[in-house]
Structure formats: structure tokens, C-alpha cells
Amino acid sequence: MRYAERGYDLEIDLSRGGIDRVETDPRSMELYLGGQGTAAKLLWDRVPPEAEPFSPENLLIFSSGLLNATPVPGATRTSVNTFSPQTSLMAHSLMGSYFGVEMKHAGYDKIVIRGKSPDLVYLWINNGKVEIRDARHLRGKGTQETAALIKEELHDNKVQVAAIGPAGENRVYMASIDHSHASAARGPGPVMGDKGLKAIAVRGTQDIHTARPAELFEICLRLSKELYDNPNVGDWMAVDEDDSFHHDNFSWGNARVRQKVWSKELQERWTKLKYDHMDRQTGCYNCPKKCHNVISWPGRKRFSYKCYGKDTYHMAAFQELDFSYDILGVAQELGLDSYSTPQVIAFALELLEAGILTDQDFPGMPSDVRKRYFYLLDKITRREGIGDVLANGVYWAARQIGKGAEKYDHNTTKKFEQLPIKLGKVNPAYFLMIATGEKMSITQIEGSFPQDPLPTMEQRQEFVKNWVAVPHEKFKEWFLRWEKRNEISNEASCAITDWNEAMHYIDDSLGLCGFVSSFRGQFGGKTGYHVWNIPQLISLSTGLDFDKDKLWKTFQRIRTLVRAVNVRRGLRRRDERPPEDHWAVRDEKSEQKLLDNYYQFKGWTTDGIPNKETLDKLGLNYVSEDFIKRGILTGNESTPSKETSNGQAKQ
Amino acid sequence: MVTVKAGLKKKLVKEIKVDVDKCTGCRSCEMACSAFHAVPKYSSLNPARARIRVVIDESRDIYVPIRAGEYTQAECTGRNIYTIHGKEYSECSFCPACCPSRDYFKEPDSGLPLKCDMCEDEPPLSEPMCVQACQQDALTYVEREELVEEQKPEVKLEEMEIVFEALVKKHGKKKVMDTFTRLSKS
Ligand code: SF4
Ligand code: SF4
């Protein structure tokens, strides 16, 4: 019997209407776990590097995490992977709530979609019964509306639906896939639309088995209480009304202006605004935290938000929280990501002010800034006029518009909008994470090691005292000695980046939520999951023997494979640059030295390509062979001088 | 000697209090219930087989955990729609019945009815499993004693009998007996 996973993928060919249930190789669980790990393997095996994101050959993969549907609390993430039309590289997107769990109960670890449907369809999966159904009547419908209509049509309110809105149908690059109170943003929405797939509806009523169920259940029940009691995990923004951090430190507008706005008066007013309109807080499947704020705003549909999503619109528009509440539900219903969309709009309005775009580009646009945001949401969603250009994101829009618009694209890396943060001095680990993170999003790679040093030795000692999550004692020493943000050794910076990244790759393959794991260690140190307790949970769930070293090596294998997937599509060192104005004080020479050190630490060439020795050591011989055949590697690349693992250099 | 008034006896009443305002829709209760009632215990997980289900309707902000009650052969003739604090609930949002109108509280494979047994077990649990799994205190367990009039013991159908009764209603007595005979021989 296969434990934790189901051992089957559902393969859908939308061009030919093909539906297959395919047994998977049991070894792939041991090598790549599940979720984005096994998805990366499928993308490597099945999508040739020449394939355009908007081509029938591109795959759109919905993966349950290996621990989804087991009793492990907070194992709620479904990953959605494909090749992004914006970057042409691998898109990693994660959504919570119930989808991956339901999929697993229906009998599948993954839903793998290829081809393109000639007309709009949706997929109905009811255990072994799978249908591709007409969705023409759902064209143009919102994400929630679509889910409700499908449930009604199927006479089943326990169905879990993931759907795109009109933005996805129109292949808007910022389009998201929405499910319940969760959203798979940043990449896969337009591909779903391109394939003519409006939604996936799943219903599963089958048993899930784990290898040592009683022991696992008991541990998980205890863990669930621990997570509930632990104030360091979950989304603090859901429960703490002091959001001075984002408002005073992040940049407003098109990632431009830092302003200190936070005050007691504002906090009180906004808190009242929230509680006057909040119905409740909800959580994802089998998680004791409740990170989603459910809001009813007059005249709008009920919606929910999580995390920094609540700030992006009003900060881009220099408005207040009531504006975000007014627009957020509308944007979600259109199926637009709340990170990149407000930046694209702010960018467009900057171009108008600069005279690069003119009033003629915005026919009938109101003068009120709030109304302008609604106007542009509509234009972008429908790809109408200037909206058709903006729908390609800031990077591409700037190049299409020309006339100096490129200068206003100042917050993208690898063609992707970044968080609106502009700082003074470089934090070296952050330089590395922004430069090299494959998810191209800082919040999806940071999280285990604190962002900044603590001012006094006593505070640092206090911090490290119960810091059980560290993979190696060395991290404590580095933290104790760290006094100024930009002054920390390259050696430490490389290991810190590696550890931060490790936790995310592990989470994204197991389906663990970053809020109980990879993202939360930096604030107080006591996170729910770490390299010491995860192996036991994998072992009890799957029956495979995992320990910390094996888990770490698995991370390295998955991470290196993801890099290889992108390298084969052209990613090189030249692309690994944080936005030029991300920090005020820059030093090109030492940054490049740091990048050299990091590549070496990872076992990559100076051009950022995993070398043959690294690949072979991780059992990725098929990658090294392919690279040599394609001339990406010669096979004689210099090897790193030191063998490294777990952030510690071995002699 | 203190005597309980003639004709009265003590009865232990077990209650699970449900606070729908506190429910987050996490469905830990469903997961835990299905594990506890799996045979052997904890051997499988499947909310579809849980004896507690959370009626969730996000668009109307409805989150109502209900525990499986009696099996009923027929749907109600009419339904009530309740409006409470401005929110519209259907009667079924609160109904614990294993009823033909929906697939709650039925074994997904056989359609056989499921019923909450308050996790009665040897040795007894401190609290039913769903209550232990609910970190939000949306479910709390209370035990109290009640004095009730002594009556003839009511017909208490055991789980097995309920299952047989449902089978008989669905397939007819003869088919069930034949199957039973055949299975007990093999
Ligand atoms: S921590 Fe929050 S976002 Fe993460 S699984 Fe739990 S409820 Fe969902
Ligand atoms: S465990 Fe508690 S909070 Fe979660 S769904 Fe059940 S009753 Fe609601």
C-alpha cells in the first residue's frame, strides 16, 4: 500500500478530451516528496525548454503536498506549477484552504493538464468519475460566482472549486486562481485561461492511509494545541492591529514613497473599521490558526483577505484601509493578484503624470484616484486599450510603451514585480535571496533567520536560548555576533540564505503552510516546524525512514532541479539582479563577490549553473547528461573548493 | 437513608456545546472523528465518514458543525429558512439527521448510516475526539446529571440494528438475509 500519497495522478488532455489515471513511480516520493518537488520533475521530463508558456505543450499542474490530508496540522498547501508567460520560467504558486486535501480524498496526488480546449470548459472530478464539462455559460463570471454556480449545477455544496475570473480568461499576467479563501497568485492564472479551463471542481470521499497512524495522530493532536498556543505562528496581521511596520517602512505608490503615517488615531480608526465589517476569521483545513479575515463591505460581495494583501491597494493609491476594503473583493472576483495589480496601476498613473502616457490613452477615465483604480482594473481585466498593454505586467508594458517608460519599471526582478520595499543599506542575505530565489518573491524565501540584528547582547542571547529550529549551532554564533545589518560575513550570508530557502522548498513539497513553518522562524525563533521535527512526521506518514540529513539532501535535490529547469530555459547569472534602487547604498564589486561565493556554496558554476559533480551527487545524473548534450555544461567545470552541507563547511 | 423520589432516577446527560461564532471552518473535528472511528482505530482518515460535519457556506458566512443523529428514511415534507442576526440559514444547516436529501452521515461506499456515539470507549475519553481536536473552543463538552421519570426503557437501537434496518429498507428483507447467509458461510 502507498502511504500519505495516493500513487496516482490524473492526466487531462484538453485538446483531445483525454482523461487518464496514471500510476506514479513510488521512488519519486522518496526523491522529491510531492507538491512542487514532484511537479518540478514532471516539468523537467515533459515540457521541452523551447515550449512557449502559451502553447499546448505547457503543463499546468495542481499538486497536493505530501502531507495534505494526513493529521499533520497546517499541511494545507496545494502548489500550482507551470511555465509563466511573464518570465518564461517556472511558476510556483501555493494556495491554502481545502483543495489539495479534497483532491487526495478523490484519489489523486496531482491533476496534470496539457493541451488547450477549443472552448471554455471546467473539470468535474468526483472520485473515479471525471468529466470535462462545458463552461461557456460561466464565461466572464467572477471567481466566487463561478464556484457557487458550479456547486449549484452539481447539486453538491461539499465540492471544492478552484476557478479563474475574467482576468484569467483574458490571459492577464497578474491573473490568479481562486479557491475558497485562498488564492494561487503570481503566475499560473493566465495559463489556465489560455488552456480554456475555467475551473476545477473536486469531490473526494476516499480514505487516506498513513504508515503509523496511531502514533502520528497522537503527535499531531498535541502539535495542533502547540500551534494554537504559539503566538509566533500564523499570520500576525490577522490578529494584531498594529501595522506600523508595513505602513511606515514599505514604499507607497509605484514603490516610490516612504512615509511615516502610523499613529494611534489611525490605528484606532482602522481597528474599528475592521471590526465593524468583519464577520469572522477562518482557517485552512485542519489548522488551528485563523488567518483569513472575512469582510462584508457595503454594496460589495463578502470577501476575505490574508496578510499584506490588505495594504497593497491603498498604499499604491495613497489612500486608506477603507479603499482596500472597497476594491479588494472586486479585484479578487475578477481574479487579479493583489500584489502586482496595484503596482501595475500605480506605474500607469505615474506614466500619465510624466507625460509618457496621455489622456488619450485613458478615454473616459475619472479624475478621482479611487475611481481610477476601478477604471483600470476593468481595462486590464478586459485587455481593452491601454489595459491590453498593462495586462502584461510592468516589465513588458514598459517595453511596449517605450518613450522612456522603462525607467519607471524600477521594481521588477526577472520581469516580475517585487514587494514595494526600498531600503538604505544592503542586508547581504537579502541580496542573495532577491537575486537567486526561483520564486522571485522575497516573502517566499525569507523566514528562518531574523531580518535584522538585535541591538543588545542580552536580547540576542535571549533569542538564541530556545532556538531549536537551527540546523546547526553555527547559526546561533552568527546571530550573536551580528551587530549591523550590512556587516555579516559572506560565509554566514550564504548559509543563512540556504537555510531560509531550504525550509520553503520542504514546505512547498510537503504542503506545509509557511505561516506555521518556513516564514515564521525569523520572528522569535519558535516556529511550528523545522528540520528536526519534520523528518519524524514524514516517516510516520509515509513509512520511509527520514532524518534531518536525508531531508536536507532532499531539499538540495529539489532546489537544484528547479534551478536546472530554469537554466535549461535560459536563466543565467545576468538575470540575477535585485532592482537597482532596492538599496540606496550599493557596492557592485562586493555584491558580485558575494554572488560568486554563493554559487560556489551551492555547487554551481560562476554563471549560476549547477555543475556536474553537484548534480550527480544528488542523483540528478539525467540533468547533467542533458546539460552536457545541450552544451550548457562541458562536464569539466571547476568544482567548488569545499564540500558544504547544512550551512557548515566540511573539510 | 436518602431516597430519590419514587419514580425518578438519575441520568447522565452528555452535551457538546456548539458556538458557531467561534468556528473557523478548519474541519479538524471531521478529520479527527473519522480517524477515531476507523477500524482499526486511526487506521484511515476521511471526513466523508465523519460523524460530525461542518456545514460551510462562505458566501453567506455560515459555519455550523453538526453531529450525526438518527437515521431517517424520508426527507421532511417542508423546509424552514431561518434568518438569525440577518443571516439566512436553511433548516438543514442545523439538522443532524442521516437523510436521503444529502450525503452527510453515510458511509460513502455503502450508503450505510453513521451516528455520533460521543466517542464512547473503554477506557472513556476525557472528551469526545472532535472536542479535543477543536482548538477554537467552538465545541465544548459538558456532562451533567438529570433526574428523569423512570419509564420503560426506550427502544435503543444499537448501531448494528440501525444499519440492518437501513439495508432492509433499501434492498428488502430477502436480499439482506440472503447476503448475510452467504457472507457468514464464506
Ligand atoms: S496558518 Fe493560516 S494560512 Fe496557514 S494553514 Fe493555518 S489558517 Fe491557513
Ligand atoms: S474543529 Fe472547531 S473550529 Fe474547526 S471546524 Fe470543527 S468546530 Fe469549527
Q: Kindly report, residue by residue over A275-331, the tens digit of the pLDDT.
A: 999 999 999 999 999 999 999 999 999 999 998 889 999 999 999 999 999 999 999
Residue A322 CB: number of other CB atoms within 10 A?
Answer: 15
**How many angstroms separate the CA atoms of A154 and B32, rounded?**
28
Please answer yes or no on whether B46 and A209 come within 8 Å at the CB atom. Answer: no
**How many angstroms separate the CA atoms of A358 and A212, rounded?**
66
Give the largest Cα separation in chain A, rounded. Answer: 68
Q: Single out the residue of A542, A539, A545, A537 nearest to residue A220, CA to CA.
A: A537
**How many angstroms separate the CA atoms of B147 and A323, rounded?**
58
Residue with grid cell 492526466, as numbered in its chain: A11
State yes or no: pLDDT of A245 exceeds 60. Answer: yes
A residues 74-113 near B, CB within 8 Å?
Answer: 98, 105
Give the closest-approach CA distance of B24 to chain A in angstroms.
4
pLDDT by residue (tens digit) across A73-86? 999 999 999 999 99
Residues 6+ apart with CB under 8 A from B172: none
Q: How many residues make up chain B in this entry?
A: 186
Q: Is B25 in the pocket of ligand 2 (CB under 6 A)?
A: yes
Q: Are A176 and A161 in contact (CB under 8 A)?
A: no
Query: B164 CA to middle of ligand 1, Å?
Result: 42
Calculate what percentage of chain A has a pLDDT beyond 70: 98
Atom number in ligand 2 closest to CA B25: 5
**How many angstroms separate the CA atoms of B68 and B118, rounded?**
10
For residue B160, what is its C-alpha cell? Answer: 448494528
Chain A positions touching B27 (Cβ under 8 A) are 98, 285-286
Q: Single out the residue of B185, B137, B154 nearest to residue B29, CA to CA.
A: B137
Give the mean model confidence (pLDDT) for residues B56-68: 94
Q: Which of A180, A210, A290 sits opposite B24 (nearest CB)?
A: A290
Is A279's Cβ below 8 Å from some Cβ in B? yes
To 5 degrees, how large is the angle CA A493–CA A75–CA A229? Answer: 80
Please tell me what DSSP assigns to residue B124: P
**How many angstroms separate the CA atoms of A313 and A304, rounded?**
15
Is A394's Cβ below 8 Å from some Cβ in B? no
Q: Which phi and psi (to 5°) does residue A128 adopt?
A: -75, -10
Give the mean model confidence (pLDDT) for residues A609-632: 97
Q: Are A5 and A212 in contact (CB under 8 A)?
A: no
Q: Which ligand is nearest to the CA of A281?
A: 1
**How many angstroms separate the CA atoms of B163 and B158, rounded?**
9
Q: Are A381 and A166 in contact (CB under 8 A)?
A: yes
**How many angstroms separate the CA atoms of B55 and B94, rounded?**
8
A385 CB burial (10 A radius; 0-12, 13-18, 19+)? middle
To 5 degrees, how large is the angle CA A372–CA A374–CA A377? Answer: 110
What residue of A is the nearest CA neighbor of B35? A217
Q: How many residues make up chain A in this entry?
A: 651
Looking at A187-201, A292-306, A359-373, B5-19, which range is the least confident one?
A: B5-19
State yes or no: pLDDT of B184 exceeds 80. Answer: no
Q: Is A515 in the pocket of ligand 1 (CB under 6 A)?
A: yes
State yes or no: pLDDT of A91 exceeds 60. Answer: yes
Give the closest-approach CA distance of B154 to chain A in angstroms.
35
What sign does the CA torsion over B116, B118, B123, B127 have?
positive
State yes or no: pLDDT of A526 exceeds 90. Answer: no
A277-290 core/surface letters (b: 16 or more CB in 10 A; e: else): bebbbbbbbbbbbb
Query: A361 CA to middle of ligand 1, Å?
Result: 42
Q: Which of B26, B43, B108 sits opposite A287 (nearest CB)?
A: B26
Query: A261 CA to middle of ligand 1, Å?
Result: 29
Is A297's Cβ below 8 Å from some Cβ in B? no
**How many angstroms separate the CA atoms of A572 and A553, rounded?**
24
pLDDT at res. A650: 37
Give the mean model confidence (pLDDT) for residues A93-101: 97
**How many angstroms separate the CA atoms of A518 and A495, rounded?**
15
**How many angstroms separate the CA atoms of A466 and A338, rounded?**
36
The CA–CA distances, whole Å, from A183 to A77, A100, A125, A290, A522 equal 11, 13, 20, 16, 24
pLDDT at res. A153: 96
Instruction: Indicate the pLDDT class of residue A200, thresholds 50, 70 and 90.
Output: very high
Chain A positions touching B23 (Cβ under 8 A) are 280
**How many angstroms separate the CA atoms of B150 and A311, rounded?**
64
State yes or no: pLDDT of A651 exceeds 60. Answer: no
**How many angstroms separate the CA atoms of A436 and A601, rounded?**
13
Looking at A113-122, A130-139, A235-244, which range is the least confident one?
A: A235-244
**How many angstroms separate the CA atoms of A256 and B21, rounded?**
41
Residue with grid cell 484569467, as numbered in its chain: A168
pLDDT at res. A365: 97
Instruction: Please compute Rg for chain A using Cα positions.
Output: 23
Residues 6+ apart with CB under 8 A from A106: A125, A126, A127, A202, A203, A204, A205, A206
Q: Is B65 in the pocket of ligand 2 (CB under 6 A)?
A: yes
Q: Which of A181, A208, A285 sits opposite B27 (nearest CB)?
A: A285
Cα A610 to the center of its chain, rounded Å: 23
Q: Name the amino acid, one letter, at A347.
A: F
Q: Is B20 in the pocket of ligand 2 (CB under 6 A)?
A: no
State yes or no: pLDDT of A439 exceeds 70. Answer: yes
Q: Single out the residue of B139, B109, B95, B118 nearest to residue B49, CA to CA.
A: B109
pLDDT at res. B55: 94
Query: A146 CA to middle of ligand 2, Å?
Result: 26
For residue A232, what is its C-alpha cell? Answer: 509566533
Q: Name the amino acid, one letter, at A334.
A: L
Mutate to test the interface with B, among A221, A293, A300, A333 (most CBs of B within 10 A): A221
Shortest-distance Cα residue to atom 8 of ligand 1: A284
Bridge partners for A202 per DSSP = A125, A160
Please answer yes or no on whether A205 and B48 come within 8 Å at the CB atom. Answer: yes
Give the mean model confidence (pLDDT) for residues A608-626: 97
Q: Is B136 in the pocket of ligand 2 (CB under 6 A)?
A: yes
Shortest-distance Cα residue to atom 4 of ligand 2: B26
For residue B55, what is its C-alpha cell? Answer: 456545514
Is B136's Cβ below 8 Å from some Cβ in A? yes
Q: Single out the residue of A364, A440, A358, A430 nearest to residue A395, CA to CA.
A: A440
pTM here is 0.93
Give the mean model confidence (pLDDT) for residues B136-154: 84
Bridge partners for B71 per DSSP = B98
C-alpha distance across the termini of chain A, in Å: 42
Query: A399 CA to middle of ligand 2, Å?
Result: 50
Q: Name the amino acid, one letter, at B66.
A: I
To 5 degrees, how large is the angle CA B116–CA B120–CA B121? Answer: 135
Q: Are A613 and A520 in contact (CB under 8 A)?
A: no
Q: Single out the residue of A623, A591, A550 nearest to residue A436, CA to CA.
A: A591
Q: Is B18 in the pocket of ligand 2 (CB under 6 A)?
A: no
Query: B24 CA to middle of ligand 2, Å?
Result: 6
Q: Single out the residue of A424, A597, A557, A401 nearest to residue A32, CA to CA.
A: A557
- Comparing B155 with B16, the larger pLDDT belongs to B16
Shortest-distance Cα residue to atom 2 of ligand 2: B134
Give the highest mean pLDDT range of A440-444, B26-30, B120-124: B26-30
Q: Name the amino acid, one letter, at B126.
A: S
State yes or no: pLDDT of B2 exceeds 60. Answer: no
Give the mean model confidence (pLDDT) for residues B152-169: 74
pLDDT at res. A66: 98
Q: Which of B46, B57, B59 sits opposite A105 (nearest CB)?
A: B46
State yes or no: pLDDT of A395 exceeds 60. Answer: yes
Q: Are B111 and B104 in contact (CB under 8 A)?
A: no
Chain A positions touching B131 (Cβ under 8 A) are none
State yes or no: pLDDT of A641 exceeds 80. Answer: no
Calculate what percentage of chain A has a pLDDT beyond 90: 93
pLDDT by residue (tens digit) across A346-356? 999 999 999 99
pLDDT at res. B167: 82
Please tell me what DSSP assigns to residue A71: S
Please tell me what DSSP assigns to residue B95: -
pLDDT at res. B123: 86
pLDDT at res. A649: 39
Per DSSP, the three-state class of A333 is helix
**How many angstroms separate the CA atoms of A530 and B83, rounded?**
46
- Comparing A651 with A378, the larger pLDDT belongs to A378
Shortest-distance Cα residue to atom 2 of ligand 1: A291
Instruction: Indicate the pLDDT class of residue B103, thresholds 50, 70 and 90.
Output: confident
State yes or no: pLDDT of A642 exceeds 80. Answer: no
Shortest-distance Cα residue to atom 3 of ligand 1: A291
Q: Single out the residue of A81, A63, A159, A82 nearest to residue A511, CA to CA.
A: A63
Q: Single out the residue of A113, A270, A185, A625 nearest to residue A261, CA to CA.
A: A270
Give the mean model confidence (pLDDT) for residues A552-567: 98
Q: Which ligand is nearest to the CA of A515?
A: 1
Bridge partners for A336 per DSSP = A175
A335-358 core/surface letters (b: 16 or more CB in 10 A; e: else): bbbbbbbbbbbbbbbbbbeeebbe
Q: Are strands A8-13 and A18-23 parallel, antiparallel or unpaired?
A: antiparallel
Instruction: Indicate the pLDDT class of residue A648, thresholds 50, 70 and 90.
Output: very low
To 5 degrees, how large is the angle CA A529–CA A532–CA A536? Answer: 85
Looking at A216-225, A634-643, B126-135, which range is the least confident one?
A: A634-643
**How many angstroms separate the CA atoms of A541 and A2, rounded?**
10
To 5 degrees, how large is the angle CA A447–CA A320–CA A263? Answer: 75
Instruction: Indicate the pLDDT class of residue A525, thresholds 50, 70 and 90.
Output: low
Give the mean model confidence (pLDDT) for residues A87-116: 97
What sign does the CA torsion over A30, A33, A37, A40 have?
positive
Instruction: Indicate the pLDDT class of residue A524, thresholds 50, 70 and 90.
Output: low
Q: Which phi and psi (to 5°) does residue A555 adopt?
A: -55, -50
pLDDT by residue (tens digit) across A486-506? 999 999 999 999 999 999 999
Mutate to test the interface with B, among A158, A212, A239 (most CBs of B within 10 A): A158
Bridge partners for B45 per DSSP = A208
B79 CB burial (10 A radius; 0-12, 13-18, 19+)? exposed
pLDDT by residue (tens digit) across A21-65? 999 999 999 999 999 999 999 999 999 999 999 999 999 999 999
Give the mean model confidence (pLDDT) for residues A562-575: 97
Instruction: Indicate the pLDDT class of residue A644, thresholds 50, 70 and 90.
Output: very low
pLDDT at res. A647: 40
Please answer yes or no on whether B63 and A282 come within 8 Å at the CB atom. Answer: yes
Q: Which of B27, B108, B133 sits opposite A205 (nearest CB)?
A: B108
